[in-house]
Chain A
Amino acid sequence: MSRIASLIPFFVILPLGGAFLVSIAKSKVKGFPDLLGVLTTAGLLIASLVSVSVANRYGVLVYSVGLWRPPLGIALVLDSLTSFMLVTVNLVAFAIAVYSIQYMRRYTSKWKFHTLFLLMLAGMNGVIITGDIFKLFVFLDIASVASYALVAFGTEKHELEAAFKYAVMSSVGSTFILFGIAFLYSYTSTLNMADMALFLTTKGHSNILTLVSILFIMGFGMKAALVPFHAWLPDAHPSAPAPISAMLSGVLIKSLGVYALCRIFFNVFGVTREILSIFMFLGALSMVTGVFLAIGQWDLKRLLAYHSISQIGYVVLGLGLGTPLGILGGLFHLFNHSVFKSLLFLNSGALEYATGTRDLQKMGGLMQKMPVTGTTSLVASMAIAGIPPFSGFWSKLIIILAAVQAGQNWYAFWAVVASLLTLASFTKVMKYAFFGRLNEAWSRIKEVPIFMRLSMTLLALACLFGGMLWIPSINEVFLKQAAGVLSGGRDYAKIVFSHIR
């Protein structure tokens, strides 16, 4: 095993260790949970940026846990898609850790927050780096259980209700996934994903695979909040504290839902035309339904939550096109969405921090009082609505172009419609919250504290320069490689096995 591969387990060890240390120290040492949260996520961010160049240099790295060689032992696999997802998750996590230093002062027992946050991060990183389907389930449930607790963190009426609904629906989703894994194990008698792909390539298609596909689409669709399974999201995401809303909407539904879905379907099962058309249909349905439900909302966070459903639809539509350009667009949008949606949720948190309300009708003219929040929120809104030169424009453009190129003109049309409605909806947010006449009640509010501004500015810069990922020299090493892993399909198995040493 090459020495560089021993970097891989640290993506799980660091946050897990951080969570442990925070829960030991509790609040005995003042500021320790904050410091550890920021340091851990900063370390993870650096490690994930390093992993991009590592993945480029070595192609695929495989770490065998306990020196049991895969397919017998558990494998952790780092390839370009993995490092792409790790950068996405850890960038957002770092910004959120910085933000919650001051935001979480509104709640008691902050150390519990940091423990759960780091546990959730460990689960998400674990889902991303694992090469073993059962470990994927385990990490998925670690992240999910932490997120149920975080949704209920306020322990008020609404939070509890939303958390219960979320927990029940999501645990049913987990059960479906476990059921699928049971069928898959009985058919292939292996748990290693690469080995499974190799087996399925030689064995060909069978009915049991169809059943497993249905179970997985239901299970991971529940985690990703695709439309028929989305009912928990508009309750759960607004009820959580703002940094957690950002984490849930920004990266949790993507790493647990979309990433796991496409890793399994593209790399292990090998996509068929039917699966792709199901992806496209679900994607387009989420895209349109989400935006229609969003447009009538007055609660800012609820509006943003519905937009998450809609934007996830774009990602899944892009991936479901199955062409290299479509997959590229889908992944590009995944990255952009996690940046601007988490920024928007942090903005909503800042508004709530300053004014104490989330109702758009009660706000107004806040741009004068909160220039940083207002400006970053404007940037994020333009990015999500797809206005050039912000990041969202480029990724949506690629998805629409890819749809036209693949001959799916209707889907391209719906993507354009959803984009226009998104624009309308965010014009409303901007008009009611930040522009117009200043509401009398807010004449004395102040801008939010420094760390909150800092993290919002960081994410706004990422929105602004997100479009630069499209520049060929960056694209070659970052996005295109990640998309190549997915469009390579079952070659994944061969590549992984050739790198086990």
Chain B
Amino acid sequence: MIVYVLCLVLFCVGLYCILRKRNIIKIIIGTIITEYAVNLFFILIGYRMKGRAPILSPDTAIENMVDALPQALVLTAIVIGLATTALLVALAMRIYEKYGTFDITKIRELRR
């Protein structure tokens, strides 16, 4: 149980980082942390204590197997996360070229 709670805590750390930090790079790290917290949670769902790989063979009983599907899903989610992160970092670089700062309180050209 405690693992799930820690996973949630990690998620909240990421969210806090996104909401409170001023530095663009730190915000990007925050999004990465939230993504990884969710990925970790997904893996934990399918995990069994002392489980084994889900390989079907005639001589073994089907019991206590790790669910492999979440692992496949998380691989996909990681790839998507990579794309988003790469794009965010590219944007951050361009923003630094134009504004000369990473501080979001100084990047406020748009009217509100």
The residues of A with any CB-CB pair to B shorter than 8 Å are: 134, 137-138, 141, 145, 148-149, 152, 155-158, 160-164, 167-168, 171-172, 174-175, 178-179, 182, 185-186, 191, 235, 239, 299, 302
Contact = CB atoms under 8 A, between A and B. Distances in A.
A161 B24 CA distance: 11
Interface in B64-83: 69-70, 73, 76-77, 80, 83
Given A171-B31, A175-B38, A235 B91 contact: no
Contact of B76 (A138, A164, A179, A235): A138
Interface of B: 11, 15, 18, 24, 27-28, 31, 34-35, 38, 41-42, 45, 69-70, 73, 76-77, 80, 83-84, 87-88, 91-92, 94-95, 98-99, 107-111
A172 B84 contact: no
Contacts of A163: 91
A164 B41 contact: no
B67 to A, nearest CB: 8
Given A155-B94, A160-B91, A185-B70, A171 B42 contact: no
Contacts of B35: 171, 175, 178
B84 A171 contact: yes
Nearest to B36: A175
B110 A161 contact: yes
B94 A168 contact: no
Nearest to B70: A185
Q: Is the interface of B mostly helix, strand, loop or mixed?
A: helix
Contacts of A235: 110
Contacts of B92: 164
A239 B110 CA distance: 10
A161 B80 contact: no
Contacts of A158: 109-110
A164 B91 contact: yes
Given A160-B91, A160-B95, 16 more contacts: A137-B77, A145-B83, A145-B87, A148-B91, A156-B98, A157-B98, A164-B24, A167-B88, A168-B18, A171-B84, A172-B15, A172-B31, A174-B80, A174-B84, A299-B111, A302-B111
A362 B32 CA distance: 44
B18 A161 contact: no
13 contacts: A145-B87, A152-B91, A160-B91, A161-B109, A163-B91, A171-B84, A171-B88, A172-B31, A175-B31, A182-B45, A185-B45, A185-B69, A239-B110
Nearest to A299: B111
Contact of A172 (B34, B70, B98): B34
Nearest to B83: A145
A134 B99 contact: no
B27 to A, nearest CB: 6
Contacts of A302: 111
The 8 A-B residue pairs with the shortest CB-CB distance, nearest first, are A186-B45, A141-B80, A182-B42, A157-B98, A175-B34, A164-B91, A160-B95, A178-B38
Given A145-B87, A171-B84, A179-B11, A161 B107 contact: yes
Given A171-B31, A172-B34, A182-B45, A164 B109 contact: no
B70 A138 contact: no
A254 B42 CA distance: 28
